[in-house]
Amino acid sequence: MTTNTNTTSTANATTTVNATSTVPTRLDFAKSAPKVFRALVGFDAAARDGLDPALVELIQIRASHLNHCAYCLHMHTNDARKAGESEDRLHMVAVWREARHFFTEKERAALALTEAVTRVADGGVPDDVYAEASAHFDDEELAHVLALILTINTWNRVALSTAKVAGTDGRR
């Protein structure tokens, strides 16, 4: 089957038109704001420093669930698999409260904090959630966990705002 495709560009977007659909392609954030993008990459790298890679992926997966970011969810579940994360745990992240035995106390504290910070507009970060996290992480680790939560929430918003498509990040 052959499909005719035409592409037109404007200052802000490209529209690809084929026989069955019109799909607006939004800006490439990395190309359009390279200094901002590099700063965010640097912030992300600094946030991860010293944290357990499995915990990093669990936090990023949970925030991506909450933000409905398929692009980041696909990326981070694949990264977690490559790092040796089990399919059972990956499937349970969204329902971690009901599947507590899959996660350590420290991971559960981080997941609860991830939810509170991601949903901060729903009532802030409750004292008990913060206290539980601070009981499992020293000040430096806790600062890194918070920074990681902030970065994944930012990445989710970048991906959602620019209509990134899950599975197009080049990772397998």
* Residue 10 clears pLDDT 90, i.e. is over it: no
* Residue 146 clears pLDDT 70, i.e. is over it: yes
Least Cα distance to 23 among 10, 14, 34, 12 occurs for 14
Distance CA 7, CA 93 (A): 40
Q: Half-sphere exposure (CA, 13 Å, Cβ side) for 142?
A: 14
Q: Taking the CA atoms of 162, 41, 152 and 52 in sequence, report the sign of the dihedral they define.
A: positive
pLDDT tens-digit profile of 20-74? Answer: 555 567 899 999 999 999 999 999 999 999 999 999 999 999 999 999 999 999 9
Q: Which helix (H) or strand (E) holds 145?
A: helix 139-161
Tally of helices (H runs) and strands (E runs) in the chain: 8, 3
Residue for token digits 């989710």?
156
What average pLDDT does the segment 91-108 reach?
A: 97
Q: Residue 13's pLDDT band (boundaries 50, 70, 90)?
A: very low
* Residue 172 clears pLDDT 90, i.e. is over it: no
Q: Tell me the residue ranges of DSSP E strands in the chain.
A: 6-9, 14-17, 22-25
